């Protein structure tokens, strides 16, 4: 089955660049720049191997974040991440990153980060015959000013990116705090997705859709607790970007077998399957499909259905989607 799932042409909507740098590369880069690594078993300890609270999980991202030292490292690492994505037979990818987070270690200029990531994207699209779209993330905990700055950046580069996202601690920084910048991004024609209802209250999901103009929800696992939120998602056809391993590792769900993915699907919610931070969680999109089949009772047809749902809800341009469809994804329609 692994072989069959690996060979499926895939679409992924929710994946973080900073959490996708392959482990050997993170270790090599850390040595190259003399960056601190965990004192014992660095390979294991830069990853999250057992469930822990979300803030603890995010601390582990530090090792990958530190790799972004200059323009060259941003470009090389972005290219290597896209190469890794191509190896999993992902043909259409929306890769998200937080310029604020990437810039932090060395205070890199945001525009330089954009130039470097875009140059890597152009090369990767040619070399690996794939379609790539970038989503810029504003991290809640960096506050409103950085959010405004990220939205400015997104608007400046809006021809080159596909959307904008809000991530980070939703409990302490609820969606309504960011209403103004996100409405501004929406007016400029940027698509919006928001991390919401991952480990926090399901009511934030509806707020994210209404006040932030989100047309997709990152995670949204907690919607399962609230029938009115589920009805709202169904009625407005708002898809959830679900990440089973990640949701288990951040304690968003108590056990992998209790992931509500299949339930959502049965209730008529549009669901997509994603890997979130594959390096951090030691997974791949193929593995996420395997989990859905082994632990959640998905059939191969249902997996294919989620790929088509991802394709339909992708923020990429019609031109890029048509190309991916003609070359790879049309085989999913039986």
Instruction: Fill in the DSSP letter of residue 40.
Output: S
- 8 A C-beta contact, residue 274 and residue 245: no
Between CA 54 and CA 65 the distance in angstroms is 17
* Residues tagged active-site: 198
Cα distance between residue 293 and residue 316, in whole Å: 28
Distances from the Cα of 234 to the Cα of 230, 269, 305, angstroms: 6, 5, 16
Which residues contact residue 231 at a Cβ distance below 8 angstroms, ignoring those fewer than 6 apart? none
Question: Cα 263–268–272 angle (5° rounding)?
Answer: 70
Contacts of 55 (CB under 8 A, 6+ apart): 169
Instruction: Tell me the C-alpha distance between 333 and 298, whole Å.
Output: 17
């Amino acid at each position: 089955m692994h072989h069959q799932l690996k060979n499926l042409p895939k679409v992924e909507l929710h994946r973080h660049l900073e959490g996708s740098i392959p482990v050997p590369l993170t270790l090599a880069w850390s040595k190259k720049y003399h960056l601190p690594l965990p004192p014992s078993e660095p390979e294991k300890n830069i990853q999250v191997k057992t469930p822990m609270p979300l803030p603890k999980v995010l601390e582990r991202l530090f090792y990958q974040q530190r790799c972004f030292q200059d323009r060259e490292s941003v470009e090389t690492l972005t290219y290597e991440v896209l190469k890794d994505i191509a190896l999993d037979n992902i043909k259409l990818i929306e890769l998200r990153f937080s310029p604020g987070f990437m810039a932090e270690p060395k205070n890199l200029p945001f525009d330089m980060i954009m130039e470097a990531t875009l140059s890597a994207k152009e090369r990767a699209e040619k070399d690996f015959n794939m379609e790539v779209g970038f989503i810029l993330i504003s991290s809640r905990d960096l506050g409103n000013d950085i959010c405004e700055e990220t939205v400015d950046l997104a608007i400046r580069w809006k021809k080159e990116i596909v959307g904008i996202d809000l991530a980070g601690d939703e409990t302490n920084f609820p969606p309504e705090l960011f209403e103004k910048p996100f409405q501004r991004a929406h007016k400029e024609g940027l698509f919006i997705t928001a991390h919401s209802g991952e480990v926090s209250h399901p009511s934030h999901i509806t707020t994210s859709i209404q006040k932030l103009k989100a047309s997709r929800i990152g995670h949204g696992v907690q919607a399962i607790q609230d029938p009115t939120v589920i009805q709202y998602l169904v009625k407005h056809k708002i898809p959830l970007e679900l990440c089973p391993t990640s949701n288990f590792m951040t304690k968003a769900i108590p056990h992998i077998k209790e992931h509500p993915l299949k339930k959502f699907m049965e209730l008529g919610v549009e669901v997509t399957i994603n890997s979130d931070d594959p390096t951090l969680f030691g997974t791949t999109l193929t593995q996420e499909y395997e989990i859905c089949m082994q632990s959640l009772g998905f059939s191969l047809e249902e997996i294919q259905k989620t790929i088509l749902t991802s394709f339909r809800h992708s923020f990429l341009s019609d031109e890029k989607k048509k190309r991916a469809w003609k070359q790879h994804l049309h085989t999913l329609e039986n």
